[in-house]
């Protein structure tokens, strides 16, 4: 199980602090602007119009009393006066009757509307009073609201000061509990790491044991199929004993490859980039074929190929997977082939195992055995990357000498190959490289007298230089072609 230790908290850069400061100032401005707008929108008690005057009914009683004009008709009397009055009244009576009817209607109408006019005036006065009271309550609420908004900042500040002013004993207790939990966590993480290492070691031991059993099994099968051993003691020569010991111990290096070089799937993905160099070729030779990953890739693309490996267990693993592979010395095998008989040659993580003189002989033999126009691809560890040299190269005790890209390219050219190119592979992950310091935008136009921007740029340039030396491409391939 992988460890789940907490990630360390990296302190903010100068750019982060400046950005946070700008955000704080912007938030303050927005808060103050909003508070000012809220204060400006505060209502004031408006001046209400006065209520209408009460209904004037002073003449209602007189109108009610004096509307009957016919009740004052004159007495008739006697003689000619009677006749004169009767004649005059006969002419005026219709007019007074119509006036009587009008007076009756008008007085009735006024009496009917007196109550309505009185209630209307009373309702208007009550409505104006209620509106004034509601406006006063609204203004009071808004004034309380603005006071509350003004107290938010003070409330938060006092809380912060209260927390900062808690008794030191409480902080000590909290710190003690935190330290105890941190120690417990570190102890658990350490135990988990030890457990992971123990499991990895056990897996490695089991893998080596499995390889040893397979080697013994293949040796027994060969012994059963071969002729009976000679009884002459001279048959057991020191050379034969050393060969048997080498054969029996070869499984250890197979286990080493399984653990440190990578899984077959990882190797297939990495080597697949070299397959296009052999498109259309026939009879490609994979020197140091290992577990046969590149032979499988060529077979899937329809390219006939065979492999050789100095380790007999490696060659046996390839044959178990249906691949054409044999155990042989590279130089001896190449010299045994006819000239211009190979359609290409590939070697991944092999040339660093050769002595310089042996390597030059291998390249010379390869030149003569390759057909004109065919490719040779030699991949190896990149010693120009210090991480690759100190991590990958010196870990393998079978490595003889590192080869700089310029050196291997020169050796190919000196052996007669042309169109030699260097192809870098396996870049070091960017997230694990040394990280530069982020430069605030304000420093681009800062004062020339300030030394901090210049020091930061110099530091970042040194980081880039170290990354170019320590953490560049882990592998490279020298790719050449025999002239047509």
Are the C-beta atoms of residues 307 and 324 closer than 8 Å to each other?
Answer: yes
pLDDT tens-digit map of 439-456: 776 666 555 556 777 787
Q: Give me the pLDDT at residue 235, please.
A: 41
Residue 254 has pLDDT above 60, yes or no: no
Two tokens, residue 417: 């190959």
Taken as a whole, the chain contains a residue count of 484
Q: Could you give the CA distance from residue 269 to residue 279 in angstroms, rounded to a whole number?
A: 17
> Is 466 inside a domain boundary?
no
> Is 448 inside a domain boundary?
no
Does 425 share its domain with 293? yes
> Residues 329, 331, 332, CA angle at the centre, nearest 5°?
65
Task: Give me the CATH number covering residue 419.
Answer: 3.40.50.150
Which residues lie below 8 Å from residue 137, measured CB to CB, with a gap of 6+? Answer: none
Q: Could you give the CA distance from residue 94 to residue 290 in angstroms, rounded to a whole number?
A: 144
Q: Which of 126-130, 144-148, 201-205 has the lowest mean pLDDT?
A: 201-205
pLDDT tens-digit map of 428-439: 888 888 888 877
Two tokens, residue 289: 């074929």
Does 282 share its domain with 158? no
Does 160 share its domain with 270? no
Two tokens, residue 103: 């007076």
Output 383 or 221, whichever has higher pLDDT.
383
Does 152 share its domain with 45? yes
> Is 53 inside a domain boundary?
yes
* Domain count of the fold of the chain: 2
Q: Which of 112-116, 210-214, 297-301, 339-343 has the lowest mean pLDDT?
A: 210-214
Output 264 or 159, whichever has higher pLDDT.
264
pLDDT level of residue 260 (50, 70, 90 thresholds) = low
Which residues lie below 8 Å from residue 344, measured CB to CB, with a gap of 6+? Answer: 277, 278, 281, 284, 285, 370, 374, 375, 376, 377
Nearest to 76 by CA among 90, 62, 63, 66: 90
Output 56 or 221, whichever has higher pLDDT.
56
Last residue of a domain, one of 118, 146, 164: 164
pLDDT tens-digit map of 108-137: 777 778 778 778 888 888 888 888 888 788
Identify the residue whose tokens are 């997977």.
Answer: 321
Nearest to 412 by CA among 465, 347, 332: 347
Query: Can you give the pTM of this predicted structure?
Result: 0.50
DSSP string, 284-313: EEEET-TTSHHHHHHHHTT--EEEEESSHH
Two tokens, residue 32: 């103050």
Per-residue exposure over 372-384, b if at least 16 CB sit within 10 Å of its own CB, e if not: eebbbbbbbbbbb
283 in helix, strand or coil? coil
> Is 407 inside a domain boundary?
yes
What range defines the domain where residue 86 resides? 30-164
Could you give the count of Cα atoms lying within 13 Å of 333 in the half-sphere of its Cβ?
17
């Amino acid at each position: 199980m992988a460890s789940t230790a907490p990630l360390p908290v990296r302190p903010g850069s100068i750019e982060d602090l400046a950005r946070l400061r700008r955000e704080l100032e912007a938030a303050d401005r927005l808060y103050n602007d909003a508070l000012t707008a809220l204060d400006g929108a505060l209502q004031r008690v408006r001046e209400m119009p006065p209520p209408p005057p009460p209904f004037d009914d002073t003449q209602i009683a007189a109108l009610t009393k004096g509307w009957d004009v016919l009740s004052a008709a004159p007495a008739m009397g006697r003689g000619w006066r009677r006749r004169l009055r009767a004649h005059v009244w006969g002419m005026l009576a219709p007019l007074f009757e119509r006036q009587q009817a009008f007076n009756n209607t008008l007085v009735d109408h006024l009496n009917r509307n007196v109550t309505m006019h009185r209630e209307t005036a009373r309702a208007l006065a009550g409505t104006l009073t209620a509106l004034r009271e509601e406006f006063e309550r609204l203004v009071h609420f808004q004034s309380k609201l603005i006071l509350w908004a003004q107290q938010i900042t003070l409330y938060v500040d006092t809380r912060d000061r209260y927390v900062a002013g808690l008794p030191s004993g409480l902080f000590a207790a909290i710190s003690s509990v935190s330290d105890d939990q941190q120690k417990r966590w570190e102890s658990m993480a350490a135990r988990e790491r030890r457990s992971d290492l123990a499991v990895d070691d056990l897996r490695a031991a089991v893998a080596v044991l499995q390889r040893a059993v397979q080697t013994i099994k293949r040796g027994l099968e060969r012994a059963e199929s071969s002729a009976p051993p000679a009884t002459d003691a001279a048959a057991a020569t020191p050379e034969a004993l050393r060969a048997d010991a080498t054969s029996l111990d070869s499984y250890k290096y197979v286990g080493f490859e399984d653990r440190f070089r990578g899984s077959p799937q990882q190797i297939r993905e990495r080597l697949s980039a070299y397959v296009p160099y052999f498109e259309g070729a026939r009879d490609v030779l994979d020197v140091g074929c290992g577990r046969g990953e590149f032979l499988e890739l060529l077979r899937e693309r329809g390219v006939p190929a065979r492999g050789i490996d100095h380790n007999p267990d490696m060659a046996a693993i390839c044959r178990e997977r249906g691949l054409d592979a044999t155990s042989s010395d590279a130089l001896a095998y190449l010299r045994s082939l006819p000239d211009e008989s190979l359609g290409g040659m590939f070697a991944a993580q092999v040339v660093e195992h050769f002595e310089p003189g042996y390597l030059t002989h291998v390249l010379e033999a390869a030149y003569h055995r390759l057909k004109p126009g065919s490719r040779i691809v030699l991949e190896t560890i990149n010693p120009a990357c210090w991480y690759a040299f100190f991590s990958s190269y010196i870990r393998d005790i079978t490595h003889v000498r590192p080869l700089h890209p310029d050196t291997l390219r020169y050796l190919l050219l000196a052996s007669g190959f042309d169109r030699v190119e260097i192809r870098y592979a396996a870049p070091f992950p960017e997230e694990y490289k040394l990280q530069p310091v982020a430069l605030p935008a304000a420093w681009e136009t800062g004062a020339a007298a300030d030394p901090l921007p210049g020091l930061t740029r110099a530091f970042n340039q040194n980081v880039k230089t170290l990354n170019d030396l320590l953490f560049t491409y882990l592998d490279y391939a020298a790719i050449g072609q025999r002239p047509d």
